[in-house]
Amino acid sequence: MALSVETTPIPGLLVARGPVHRDARGWFTEGWQRAKMVAAGLPDFGPVQHNVSSNASRGATRGIHAEPWDKLVTVVHGRVFGAWVDLRAGAGFGATFTLEVEPGTAVFVPRGVGNSYQALADDTVYSYLVNEHWRPDLTYPALALDDPTAAIDWPIPLSQSEISDKDRANPQLAEVTPFVPKQVLLLGGSGQVGRALRRLLPDAVAPTRDELDLTDPAAVEALDLSGHDLVINAAAMTAVDAAETLDGSRLAWRLNAELPAQLARCAAAAGATLVHYSSDYVFDGQREVHDEGEALTPVSEYGRTKAAGDLAVGVAPRHYLLRTSWVVGDGGNFVATMARLADEGRSPRVVDDQWGRLSFADEIAAATLHLVASGAPFGTYNVSQSGEPLTWAGIAREVFALRGRAREDVTPVTTAEYGAGRAMAPRPEHSTLVLDKLRATGYEPADMVEALAGYVSRLDAGRGARSASDEPRDPSTNEGN
Please tell me whether residues 293 and 442 are part of one structural domain.
Answer: yes
Q: Please report whether residue 465 resides in a domain.
A: yes
* Mean pLDDT along residues 346-368: 97
**End-to-end Cα spacing for the chain:** 48
* Mean pLDDT along residues 16-30: 93
Predicted local confidence at residue 475, as pLDDT: 35
Rounded to two decimals, the pTM is 0.83
* Mean pLDDT along residues 245-271: 96
- Structural domain of 13: 4-175
* Residue where one domain finishes, among candidates 122, 148, 175: 175
Q: Please report whether residue 325 resides in a domain.
A: yes
- Read off φ and ψ for residue 380, nearest 5 degrees: -100, 135
Q: pLDDT for 222-234, tens place per residue?
A: 999 988 999 999 9
Please tell me whether residues 107 and 134 are part of one structural domain.
Answer: yes
Q: Please report whether residue 180 resides in a domain.
A: no
Taking 60 as the threshold, does the pLDDT of residue 12 lie above it? Answer: yes
Residues of the chain with pLDDT > 70, as a percent, come to 96
| Averaged confidence pLDDT in the chain | 92
Please tell me whether residues 189 and 228 are part of one structural domain.
Answer: yes
* Mean pLDDT along residues 57-72: 94
Please tell me whether residues 284 and 384 are part of one structural domain.
Answer: yes
Using CA atoms, how far residue 56 sits from 36, 60, 119, 158, 161, in Å, is: 33, 8, 9, 16, 12
Residues of the chain with pLDDT > 90, as a percent, come to 86
Q: Please report whether residue 271 resides in a domain.
A: yes
* Residue where one domain finishes, among candidates 109, 140, 175: 175
Number of Cβ within 10 Å of residue 279's Cβ equals: 31
CATH number of the domain to which 144 belongs? 2.60.120.10
Q: Please report whether residue 86 resides in a domain.
A: yes
Query: What whole-number distance in Å separates Cα of residue 221 and Cα of residue 391?
Result: 41
Catalytic residue flag (residue 128): yes
CA 108 to chain centre: 19
Q: Which of 39-53, 118-132, 278-292, 395-409 has the lowest mean pLDDT?
A: 39-53
Predicted local confidence at residue 130, as pLDDT: 95
Catalytic residue flag (residue 50): no
Taking 50 as the threshold, does the pLDDT of residue 481 lie above it? Answer: no
Q: Please report whether residue 31 resides in a domain.
A: yes
* Mean pLDDT along residues 111-139: 93
Q: pLDDT for 73-123, tens place per residue?
A: 999 999 999 999 999 998 999 999 999 999 999 999 999 999 999 999 999
Taking 50 as the threshold, does the pLDDT of residue 207 lie above it? Answer: yes
Please tell me whether residues 220 and 153 are part of one structural domain.
Answer: no
Pairing state between β 71-77 and 124-130: antiparallel
Q: pLDDT for 428-475, tens place per residue?
A: 999 999 999 999 999 999 999 999 999 999 997 654 444 333 344 443
Q: Which of 296-310, 377-391, 462-476 has the lowest mean pLDDT?
A: 462-476
* Mean pLDDT along residues 323-332: 94
Q: State the total domains in the chain.
A: 2
* Mean pLDDT along residues 306-334: 95
Please tell me whether residues 150 and 59 are part of one structural domain.
Answer: yes
Q: Which residue out of 65, 77, 140, 370 is catalytically annotated?
A: 65
Taking 90 as the threshold, does the pLDDT of residue 280 lie above it? Answer: yes
Predicted local confidence at residue 461, as pLDDT: 60
Q: Which residue out of 128, 277, 320, 443 is catalytically annotated?
A: 128
Predicted local confidence at residue 202, as pLDDT: 95
Please tell me whether residues 386 and 318 are part of one structural domain.
Answer: yes
Please tell me whether residues 66 and 197 are part of one structural domain.
Answer: no
Predicted local confidence at residue 331, as pLDDT: 84
